[in-house]
């Protein structure tokens, strides 16, 4: 790889020392703009180009807003919070330093690798500092970028000790190497370089990025459900897309601003948030509680006469779990207090389902054992049944809820 001097896509420009580009403050505040949350903030798990298109959008994970919801709007509002690094329009300032401590002599090669780098939209500014035996015309360092020879450094002006040089790496050269998100530099000494105690080298690289796409996130809404979007991030733009991929709302954020307030879904389906800009950000999505009509969130508390073999004490419901989905049902405890739920599935066994029963205060009072859940409830109280897929399982299911009559009835 380093035996022949491979030409680079365009010529290098020697540069006098000047001020380096300003890197973004990666320790910028990422506090969520809404109050306490019951679940941990998730990180953008598809950083870089992986979630640049709606088809590859990252699914948001929702948890309950605190305090426990009152159920006046269904089962209460939910929130999803994700921290990310925007890599879309406007550019991302990349800055990184790699240092290698150890011998530099007699033709040896040492790598310096940058991972998770954005695609460039400008030339790169590279500064190399090396402590080595470079005092002589035959003593120099060859600098490589993934097989591309960037130049022979310190052929003139080198010293035995600390040496500094600064060059511009053309955008075309960076782009050719950064396509996989990795930049692999290497420093190779000439054969004449002798051993020097305490040798090292350090590479500092900075450039403007952002030629890739934006970040996409997705979540489900049922018809009539509403959503609020807010964002912490000084230089980002956010769009809300509908199931048909039309842009429903667009806003450029002031830090921590509410970008979309009270948007109500006309149709149920998967909605998308697009984030583009040049800074770290925190996106918060708050969706309203699930309504009592439709699925999920259907109320099955009232007896349904003639449903099933158990007469007017037998109730049925069905639903579909999609990715990131949780379905909720309200159950009114009968006079007997006995609740029994049986789950089934077109797949056959419903062991892939998990059912959790909550009381009106939001406390877990029972969980399913296999496809069955039983609980001795307080007569007349309302309970809430949560249906989820075990280990993220998805699919159609049916519920049969038996509320036996009180003895003597």
Query: Can you give the pLDDT of all 409 residues of the chain as single tens digits?
Result: 444 444 554 433 333 322 222 222 222 222 222 222 233 344 555 455 567 778 888 888 877 654 444 444 444 577 888 887 765 544 457 888 999 998 999 999 999 999 878 777 778 999 999 999 999 889 999 999 998 999 999 998 899 999 999 999 998 888 888 877 789 999 999 999 999 999 999 999 998 765 456 788 999 887 778 888 887 765 567 888 899 888 888 776 555 556 777 788 888 889 999 887 666 778 888 887 654 333 333 344 433 333 333 444 556 777 787 776 677 777 777 778 888 888 888 766 677 788 888 776 667 788 887 788 889 988 878 787 878 887 777 888 888 877 665 555 4
Query: What is the reported pLDDT for 312?
Result: 43
Domains defined for the chain, CATH in brackets:
42-90+212-287 (2.60.120.380), 93-208 (2.60.120.1200), 311-402 (2.60.120.380)
Q: Length of the chain, please?
A: 409
Query: What is the reported pLDDT for 300?
Result: 41
Task: Dump pLDDT digits (tens) for 73-86.
Answer: 444 577 888 887 76
For residue 290, report the phi and psi dihedrals to the nearest 5 degrees.
-75, 135
Contacts of 368 (CB under 8 A, 6+ apart): 341, 343, 353, 354, 355, 356
Query: What is the reported pLDDT for 294?
Result: 32
Query: What is the reported pLDDT for 30?
Result: 25
> Cα(61)–Cα(252) distance, rounded to whole angstroms?
24
Q: Determine if residue 266 is left, alpha or beta; phi over 0 gives left, psi from -120 to 50 gives alpha, anything else beta.
A: alpha
Let me know if 387 is exposed, middle or buried by CB neighbors in 10 A (0-12, 13-18, 19+): buried
DSSP alpha helix (H) spans, 146-299: 171-177
Query: What is the reported pLDDT for 310?
Result: 41
| SS3 category, 256 | coil
């Amino acid at each position: 790889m380093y035996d022949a001097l491979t030409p680079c896509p365009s010529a290098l420009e020697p540069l006098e020392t000047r001020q380096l580009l300003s890197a973004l403050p990666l320790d910028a505040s990422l506090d969520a703009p809404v109050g306490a949350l019951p679940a941990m903030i998730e990180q953008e798990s598809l950083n870089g180009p992986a979630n640049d298109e709606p088809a590859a959008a990252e699914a948001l994970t929702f948890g309950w807003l605190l305090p426990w919801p009152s159920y006046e709007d269904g089962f209460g509002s939910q929130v999803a919070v994700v921290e990310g690094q925007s890599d879309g329009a406007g550019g991302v300032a990349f800055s990184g330093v790699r240092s290698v401590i150890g011998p530099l002599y007699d033709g040896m090669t040492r790598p310096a690798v940058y991972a998770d780098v954005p695609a460039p939209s400008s030339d790169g500014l590279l500064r190399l500092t090396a402590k080595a035996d470079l005092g002589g015309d035959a003593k120099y360092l060859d600098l490589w970028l993934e097989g591309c020879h960037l130049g022979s450094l310190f052929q003139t002006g080198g010293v035995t000790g600390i040496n500094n040089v600064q060059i511009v790496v053309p955008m075309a050269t960076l782009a050719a190497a950064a396509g996989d998100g990795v930049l692999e530099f290497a420093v190779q000494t000439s054969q004449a370089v002798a051993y020097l105690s305490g040798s090292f080298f350090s590479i500092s690289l900075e450039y403007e990025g952002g030629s890739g796409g934006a970040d996409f996130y997705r979540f489900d809404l049922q018809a009539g459900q509403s959503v609020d979007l807010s964002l912490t991030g000084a230089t980002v733009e956010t769009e809300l897309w509908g199931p048909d991929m039309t842009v429903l709302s667009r806003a450029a954020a002031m830090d921590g601003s509410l970008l979309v307030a009270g948007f109500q879904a006309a149709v149920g389906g998967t909605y998308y948030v697009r984030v583009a800009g040049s800074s770290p950000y925190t996106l918060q999505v708050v969706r309203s509680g699930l309504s009592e009509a439709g699925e999920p969130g259907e109320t099955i508390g009232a007896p349904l006469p003639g449903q099933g073999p158990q007469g007017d004490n037998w109730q049925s419901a069905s639903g579909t779990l999609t990715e990131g989905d949780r379905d909720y049902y309200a159950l009114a405890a009968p006079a007997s207090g006995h609740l029994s739920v049986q789950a089934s599935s077109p797949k056959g066994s419903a062991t892939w389902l998990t059912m959790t029963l909550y009381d009106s205060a939001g406390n877990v009072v029972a969980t399913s054992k296999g496809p069955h859940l039983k609980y001795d409830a307080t007569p007349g109280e309302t309970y809430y049944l949560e249906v989820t897929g075990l280990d993220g399982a998805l699919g159609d299911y049916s519920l049969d809820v038996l509320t036996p009559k009180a003895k003597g009835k």
